A and B are shown apart, each in its own frame.
Chain A
């Protein structure tokens, strides 16, 4: 027991003596850079300890700051979500406003280019009985604005339809050209082949009838109004020929793709030119005016 104690004490003293003398030597010796070894070693060791301590302190501080930030993150998240929702709504409103501005600008350009008296009208309703093949809209202009039955209605890209029935003071019904009972005098722009465009209950929703088998009509030909119906002014776009079939009869079967997107009508122009009396007196199956 005592021998072990002596050995242990001897070992401790030996190590102490060695370390002390190593430190003593280090204190006298300089490195290549002129710094004493003891200083360099102690500085390096202390710097390492400092680095470890600094890392530990920084880690604790980061953990604490993360925790503190997380505490407020939920409320901030809720607020940001609400703000984002409001911004999305605002963005949609701005987009809608921009789209409407574009359409109004196109409408204004049409109004200025057409040498016809027109009045702009807002679409305030539509498609009351679409399943029956009836295609109508309601516009926010009426007799107070000079709108009369049978007047043509246009959009920037082409013909929309005509006013049907007796307009109210501030509203009027418009029969769209794609209505199964609507019709308009038309001709192909390229070959001037005349005929009549009518609503068709299929795709595309327009068809050109009464065009002779002898006429030269090709897909892609532009169909414009001929003006012979007394309602629609001459030269306005109706659509493009999509398909042409020669039948056994006298006439071609022509499918026409409308120039106007009837599903997104918001603003239209009413041509304030009354239809010719003879044609205006003809009665359509649903309330007067030009019809098939």
Chain B
């Protein structure tokens, strides 16, 4: 079940990343759905699942996006592991701590990603802090919302089923 959820989340994130975000020129740099999925999985299911999801999602994203396969995977593995560890150590059930985790995860991912690419391409590393922080904020907002939605989904179903049952009793 857990594997299926992780797989579904990653596939959905990849689809969003390649379609929705990829439609605009800057969409790929303003949001990273795969990273959001990895952080969500790490916060929900722990460090081990988070790092595996990061590795898998990152490798697939690298393979789809082109370039050096492994850099994104390495970065997301690191983010998934650390977010999972921090999520287990601290209480991150509230939106604000989650936002901090998403922003921190995004910044860490970009630092690692850009540094590795600079290292591979044998050039000096230059960080676009504005773009990075913008993406971190957007990722954070989307991620917090996504988590809220996912977590409220079981209660919503129960409430809807309860409402349907009450309505039926009144009719009959």
Please determine whether chains A and B interact with each other in the same assembly. yes
**Taking A10-B51, A17-B52 as contacts, is the C-beta distance between A25 and B74 under 8 angstroms?**
yes
Stretch at the interface among B11-19, B65-73, B143-151: B65-73
The verdict on B102 contacting chain A, using a C-beta distance below 8 Å, is no
B73 touches A21 (CB 8 A): yes
B96 to chain A, nearest CB (A): 27
Provide the bound-state CA to CA distance between A14 and B71, in Å. Answer: 15
> How many residues in B have their beta carbons less than 8 Å from beta carbons of A?
19
* B57-94 with Cβ < 8 A to chain A: 59, 68-71, 73-74, 77-78, 81
**Taking A22-B74, A25-B74, A29-B120 as contacts, is the C-beta distance between A17 and B51 under 8 angstroms?**
yes
The verdict on A144 contacting chain B, using a C-beta distance below 8 Å, is no
The verdict on B6 contacting chain A, using a C-beta distance below 8 Å, is no
**Taking A9-B48, A28-B68 as contacts, is the C-beta distance between A21 and B81 under 8 angstroms?**
no
Given A13, A21, A22, which contacts B48 in the complex, CB threshold below 8 Å? A13
B74 touches A14 (CB 8 A): no
The verdict on B35 contacting chain A, using a C-beta distance below 8 Å, is no
B39-67 toward A: CB 8 Å interface, digit per residue (1/0)?
00000001110011001000100000000
Given B71, B78, B122, which contacts A25 in the complex, CB threshold below 8 Å? B71
Contacts of B122 in A (CB 8 A): 32
**Taking A22-B70, A24-B69 as contacts, is the C-beta distance between A14 and B51 under 8 angstroms?**
yes
B47 touches A28 (CB 8 A): no
Given A6, A10, A28, which contacts B70 in the complex, CB threshold below 8 Å? A28
Contacts of B69 in A (CB 8 A): 24-25, 28
Given A9, A18, A32, which contacts B74 in the complex, CB threshold below 8 Å? A18
From B67, which residue of chain A is reached at the shortest CB distance?
A: A28
Provide the bound-state CA to CA distance between A287 and B11, in Å. Answer: 141
Contacts of A18 in B (CB 8 A): 74, 77-78
Contacts of B30 in A (CB 8 A): none
> How many residues in A have their beta carbons less than 8 Å from beta carbons of B?
14
A117 to chain B, nearest CB (A): 106
From A7, which residue of chain B is reached at the shortest CB distance?
A: B47
**Taking A28-B68, A28-B70 as contacts, is the C-beta distance between A21 and B77 under 8 angstroms?**
yes
Contacts of A10 in B (CB 8 A): 46-48, 51, 81
B68 touches A17 (CB 8 A): no
The verdict on B108 contacting chain A, using a C-beta distance below 8 Å, is no
**Taking A18-B74, A18-B77, A18-B78 as contacts, is the C-beta distance between A25 and B120 under 8 angstroms?**
yes
Contacts of A9 in B (CB 8 A): 48
Provide the bound-state CA to CA distance between A9 and B46, in Å. Answer: 13
* A238-256 with Cβ < 8 A to chain B: none
Provide the bound-state CA to CA distance between A103 and B84, in Å. Answer: 108
The verdict on B116 contacting chain A, using a C-beta distance below 8 Å, is yes
Contacts of B71 in A (CB 8 A): 25
Task: Find the residue from A14, A28, A29 having the highest chain B CB count within 10 A.
Answer: A14
From B119, which residue of chain A is reached at the shortest CB distance?
A: A29
From A37, which residue of chain B is reached at the shortest CB distance?
A: B120
Known: A10-B46, A18-B77. 7 other contacts (CB 8 A): A10-B47, A13-B51, A13-B52, A21-B70, A25-B70, A25-B116, A25-B120
- Cβ contacts A to B, 20 pairs, < 8 Å: A10-B46, A13-B48, A13-B51, A14-B47, A14-B81, A17-B52, A18-B74, A18-B77, A21-B59, A21-B70, A21-B73, A21-B74, A24-B69, A24-B73, A25-B69, A25-B70, A25-B71, A25-B74, A29-B68, A29-B120
Which B residues form the contact surface with A (CB < 8 A)? Answer: 46-48, 51-52, 55, 59, 68-71, 73-74, 77-78, 81, 116, 120, 122
